[in-house]
Structure 1
Amino acid sequence: MTFSAYLLIAIDLIAAAVLAFGLFYRRHRRRDLVVAFLGVNVGVLAVAAVLGTAEVALGLGLGLFGVLSIIRLRSSEISQREVAYYFASLAIGLIAGLPQSEPLPAIGLIGLIVAVMWAADHPAIMARSRHQIVRLDRAVADETELRAELEDRLGATVTAFAVQQLDLVNDTTLVDVRYRVGSRTRRIPERASAASAPAERTATTTVATAGGIR
């Protein structure tokens, strides 16, 4: 192996460590995926290096990229953010493992991938946007009424939502909600207010009775 190949391997290991530990684990604290990212990166790096020394075409390397991706994505459910980290780890390993006549373009591409992931997953980017699965304690079929109900319950502006389940028997609604926080004030649920009303009336009646006795 040439000096440029060893240099790319060192750059790959540094970039993979920054991606897994410096970005992903520091922000999301999932140790299992850190292991997956590093293992996939080094594995792809090694296989791509072997394919390169065997003078196998670049198309086979990209085919390996696709096969590994399909196997991993079908093995368990992961979020879109984790998919992005996974593909970034794959891409870094593949770029560093394939033979390069000049290492500087490859180093630049690896740096670009890490920089884009740092910026795209930064906590300051779209910091007010949220996503939740919400189950309401009543069945709401009207979309306008449902949006108003969600905004009142969440105390936020709903940007998009999709009804996943409308249960007319058990009187519940399951909604996938995307919303923006900090723009509304959350109200007290009506049922809670109604539940507290009898207690207040009872207390008033007791005071009046006591006043009558005195």
Structure 2
Amino acid sequence: MSQLVLFAIDICAVVLLVFGLYFPRHRRRDLVVAYLGVNIGVLAVASALSTSNTGAGIGLGMALFGVLSIIRLRSTELDQHEVAYYFSALALGLLGALSTSSLWLNGGLMGLIVVVMFLGDNKKLFRHYRHQVLVLDSAIPDHVALVAHLEQLLNARVHSVTVQRLDMVNETTIVDVRYSLTGRARTAAPTAPAHSGARR
């Protein structure tokens, strides 16, 4: 009976994670199917393995899920927050399938995962900080001058700059920049120039 209760808690938790947190915040439909499939798949297979009397079966199943996770993450480009949701869905499935601990402990850990994702993925947390990859229409080899140029361009305080490519022939600089908005820029995101590529 406790196993059925854990199944119900897992389903409620993953529905809340996907439809209550992820999709309203990020609106990526294809990952909704991925998160639900991973959760239910892990729940089903781990439940079947947990009924075996041999610990080798459970260990083999966990190793299999690790390999499948690596393959899944390498098959498409995922942002770090999407990776976090991916492993949260996987962890919920494992907690829902394993009955080695108490019902309250597993249920509490599931709730903890959802709460942590709610807080960690909140847009109000570090909302002034940004991350972009920019293509500048000038070659700037001097780091101090580059930082000053980026701060003027973005109207922000630059915290970190990594030069990915410096082309002295075509007069371009590709930089990975992390910055925080300052002053009036906090009320409106800076407009990236037409020749820049942005990635947050």
TM-score bin (small chain): 0.7 to 0.9
Structure showing greater radius of gyration is 1
Alpha-carbon shift at residue 53 of structure 1 (Å): 1.2
Among residues 10, 17, 28, which one is paired with 2:26 in the alignment? Answer: 28
Of the two structures, which has the highest relative contact order with CA contacts closer than 8 Å and spacing of 6 or more? 2
Tell whether 2:40 aligns with 1:38.
no
Please state how far the C-alpha of 1:101 moved relative to its aligned partner. Answer: 5.1
Give the CA RMSD over aligned residues: 1.7
SS of 2:139 mapped into structure 1: coil
Q: Which residue in the other structure is 2:81 paired with?
A: 81
Cα offset, 1:85, TM superposition: 0.6
Instruction: Confirm or deny: 8 A CA contact 1:156 1:184 kept in the other structure.
Output: no
Secondary structure of residue in 2 paired with 1:180: strand
User: Equivalent pairs: percent with the same residue?
Assistant: 54
- TM-score (structure 1 length as normaliser): 0.82
| Structure 1 residue runs of 4 or more that deviate by more than 6 Å after TM superposition | none
Q: How does 1:158-177 map to 2 (within 5 A)?
A: 158-177=158-177
> CA–CA distance in 2 between the matches of 1:173 and 1:101?
55
Aligned to 2:180: 180
CA shift in 2, pair 1:126/1:101, >3 Å = closer
- In the alignment, the residues of structure 2 paired with residue 127 and residue 91 of structure 1 have an alpha-carbon distance, to the nearest angstrom, of 27
Q: Which runs of 5+ in 1 are unaligned?
A: 190-214
Deviation at 1:121, TM superposition (A): 0.5
Residue 101 to residue 118, structure 1, CA distance change in 2 (3 Å): closer
* Count of aligned positions: 185
Name the amino acid aligned to 1:27.
R
**2:40 is matched by which residue type in structure 1?**
V
TM-score between both structures, scaled by the size of structure 2: 0.87
Q: Which has the higher helix share?
A: 1
State the Cα distance separating 1:184 from its structure 2 match: 7.3
d(CA) in 2 for partners of 1:101 and 1:83? Answer: 26
Are 1:47 and 2:6 matched, yes or no? no
